[in-house]
Chain A
Amino acid sequence: MWHLITAPVLLPMLTALLIMLPPIHYSPMRRRWVSMISSAIQLVLVVSLLMQVQQQGLIHYAIGNWQAPFGIILVADTLSVLLVCLTSFLALGAICYGSAGEDEKGSFFHPLFQFQIMGINGAFLTGDLFNLFVFFEVLLIASYALLIHAGGKNKTKAAVHYVVLNLTGSAIFLIALAVLYGTLGTLNIADMAEKVALLPADDLMLVKSGGLMLMIVFALKAAVLPLQFWLPATYASASAPVAALFAVMTKIGVYALLRVYTTIFGANAGELSGIAADWLLPAGLATIALGAVGVMASQDFRKLVANLVLLSVGTLVSLVALHTELSAAAAIYYTVHSTLVTAALFLIADLIASQRGKAGDRLVSGRRVAQPVLLGFMFMLGALTVAGLPPFSGFVGKLMLLQAVTEPGSRIAIWSLVLLSSLLVIIGLSRAGSTLFWRISGSDTAGEKAAPLQIFAVCWLLLASPLLVIFAGPFTELSQQAAEQLYDTRSAINTILHSGVVEGGKQ
């Protein structure tokens, strides 16, 4: 049972490998079912891991039985496991959607999807900065491959930009890692946090340089202005289930920002405490503004949703920049909510596009969708949620984030931006919705109806929205707990570095 923490990484990997091998490889149905069942099992496992963490507090697992800081450790605290749960939940929906036929439009859909999940979960769980890099690369390479799934010019074009920028990002990541290793002499995040406090004055600025370099990397992953340019085209051109899964990718950047700048450069870092906030807040706010502008500017629905992703990233990054427990709690709730709803919207966009004939998801008048009531309902639910309107999860997220801004200085800026951007989103979405569903031209030839599996997938993701409201009490509580645990760096370090280490590393 104590190996459970490895499941989110190893189970998807195993699944991917099994799908690549006979006998599963031969039949599309087998590939689908193995992928879906494995994801379902994974969801069960990670939820039980969450319960384990709730009971025991922070769990750490020394891979290879080499204790931190020498070996690589996996760390499960409420935050990381929550995000792993989110990923698993999302992945199950996306895989189901993909299994309705999208998966056969190119090779290796399911293995790549599983690898992607492996990378994401690994990035959430690892307690080692270099290992974080490795998992970043795993998820990136898988995302490159998934991005071009089903082919097409737009995908190729977007992929070139996405890949080159991320490769640059990886290079910067490596340089940052080298600078941090070269000054702190360690790679373990907790150990770095401890070493930063004892840093000689001479090395301070080097570490700062390295620390800020990391910010570029994470901001690039999170798509924060001015490093966000890859996102709209990438997300808008990817196949629907892939785009849905991508919804969580930006959150990894946010997670890494949250983790690194509270643990390593947190309250105990002395002069280096909070080095990121000055840069992150303006960048986050600018991203919100850009996202809102993008929502208004979008000519097709997927682009619009991609800009909604940007907007949510901006919001999250601003919250991270506020650097309080309350803001972290808000960020955590908001992450879960916004990831699921944007993912659902990507899927809905795909359904709409496939039913509107030539018009696709472009915001022009077109054929009537084949299932107006169903899609309209889904759209409505998704739109309300993402716009932060009641009664769905968006408004809880919005209330939480607005309440998290307690500092009078930033309040005016953040509130007005958030509220104004909400208004633009409302306008943009109402325009989009009325165009997609109501502006009808041409004959009413019925398009292809959505497959039951697709409908299930969308409902699965959308289901989260009301649930997050109904159980908002416990859930906000959980976010709060996660934030508290995140900010309790001292005890995390003590647990990871100073508990049960036997001389010589092996226990």
Chain B
Amino acid sequence: METLVACCIGFLTACGIFLMLRGRTFPVMLGLTMLSYAVNLFIFTSGRLTLRGAAVLGTSEQYADPLPQALVLTAIVIGFAMTAFLVILAIRARADLGNDHVDGKLPDADVVRKESR
């Protein structure tokens, strides 16, 4: 199972990073979201995997490590706040700069015309 989970985390990271390397704000946001999934899973796995061990006292014998879970919760919330900000910033950038390229300008002037919604 660990191998599978590690593969998933690695793959999610790679996908997230690839998307974050795109030149438009929307894929960057997607990539960021995906990267946070990967990171959250990563933090979570740093407490090792446990089946049937929710850290609620009295429900099982062997509890999963609760601390990484708490850290992930914090990370999720912070990640949400950050993503939200980035999303709105992207809108603002589109409004202010007239395009959705992360550098605020299109790499090629001709593209401006081609790019229709």
A residues lining the B interface (CB < 8 Å): 130, 134, 137, 141, 144-145, 148, 151-153, 156-157, 159-161, 163-164, 167-168, 170-171, 174-175, 177-179, 181-182, 187
CB distance from A328 to the nearest CB of B (A): 30
Q: Are A157 and B97 in contact (CB under 8 A)?
A: yes
Instruction: Give the size category of B's interface with A.
Output: 20 to 34
Residues of A within 8 A of B20 (CB): 164, 168
* Residue in A141, A156, A164, A182 whose beta carbon sits within 8 Å of that of B81 in the complex: A141
Residues of A within 8 A of B71 (CB): 130, 177-178, 181
12 inter-chain pairs at a CB distance below 8 angstroms, sorted by A residue, are A141-B82, A157-B93, A160-B104, A163-B89, A164-B28, A170-B82, A174-B39, A174-B75, A178-B43, A181-B47, A181-B68, A182-B47
- The answer for the CA separation of A137 and B36 in the assembled complex, in Å, is 14
CB 8 Å contact bits of B31-44 with A (1 = contact, 0 = none): 01001100100110
Q: Are A156 and B89 in contact (CB under 8 A)?
A: yes
Chain A CB within 8 A of B11 CB: no
- The answer for the CA separation of A177 and B46 in the assembled complex, in Å, is 9
Q: Main secondary structure on chain B at its contact with chain A?
A: helix
Q: Are B32 and A167 in contact (CB under 8 A)?
A: yes
CB 8 Å contact bits of B62-102 with A (1 = contact, 0 = none): 00000110010011001101100110011011001100001
Q: Are B96 and A153 in contact (CB under 8 A)?
A: yes
Residues of B within 8 A of A182 (CB): 45-48
Instruction: Rank and list the top 5 A-B pairs by shortest CB-CB distance, nearest first.
Output: A182-B46, A178-B46, A157-B104, A178-B43, A156-B96
Residues of B within 8 A of A156 (CB): 89, 92-93, 96-97, 104
- Among B35, B47, B68, B81, the one with the most A-chain Cβ atoms within 10 Å of its Cβ is B35
B residues lining the A interface (CB < 8 Å): 20, 25, 28, 32, 35-36, 39, 42-43, 45-48, 67-68, 71, 74-75, 78-79, 81-82, 85-86, 89-90, 92-93, 96-97, 102-104
Q: Are B35 and A163 in contact (CB under 8 A)?
A: no
CB distance from B2 to the nearest CB of A (A): 12
- The answer for the CA separation of A156 and B91 in the assembled complex, in Å, is 10
Q: Are B68 and A178 in contact (CB under 8 A)?
A: yes
Residues of B within 8 A of A164 (CB): 20, 28, 32, 86, 102
Residues of B within 8 A of A157 (CB): 93, 96-97, 103-104
- The answer for the CA separation of A505 and B81 in the assembled complex, in Å, is 33
Residues of A within 8 A of B74 (CB): 130, 134
With A134-B74, A141-B85, A164-B20: A179-B46 Cβ-Cβ less than 8 Å: yes
Q: Are A144 and B42 in contact (CB under 8 A)?
A: no
Q: Are B96 and A177 in contact (CB under 8 A)?
A: no
Residues of A within 8 A of B102 (CB): 160-161, 164
Residues of B within 8 A of A177 (CB): 43, 71
Q: Are A148 and B46 in contact (CB under 8 A)?
A: no
- The answer for the CA separation of A179 and B74 in the assembled complex, in Å, is 17
* Residue in B82, B93, B97 whose beta carbon sits within 8 Å of that of A167 in the complex: B82
Residues of B within 8 A of A160 (CB): 25, 89-90, 93, 102, 104
* Residue in A134, A159, A168, A175 whose beta carbon sits within 8 Å of that of B89 in the complex: A159
Residues of B within 8 A of A161 (CB): 102-103
Closest to A168 in B: B20
Residues of A within 8 A of B45 (CB): 178, 182
CB distance from A238 to the nearest CB of B (A): 15
- The answer for the CA separation of A134 and B77 in the assembled complex, in Å, is 11
Closest to A136 in B: B78
Can you add 11 more A-B contacts, CB < 8 Å, to A157-B104, A167-B32, A168-B35?
A145-B85, A148-B92, A153-B97, A153-B104, A163-B82, A163-B86, A164-B20, A164-B102, A181-B71, A182-B45, A182-B46
Q: Are A171 and B86 in contact (CB under 8 A)?
A: no
Q: Are B78 and A175 in contact (CB under 8 A)?
A: no
Residues of A within 8 A of B104 (CB): 153, 156-157, 160
Q: Are B43 and A163 in contact (CB under 8 A)?
A: no
CB distance from A143 to the nearest CB of B (A): 11
Residues of A within 8 A of B96 (CB): 151-153, 156-157
Residues of A within 8 A of B97 (CB): 153, 156-157
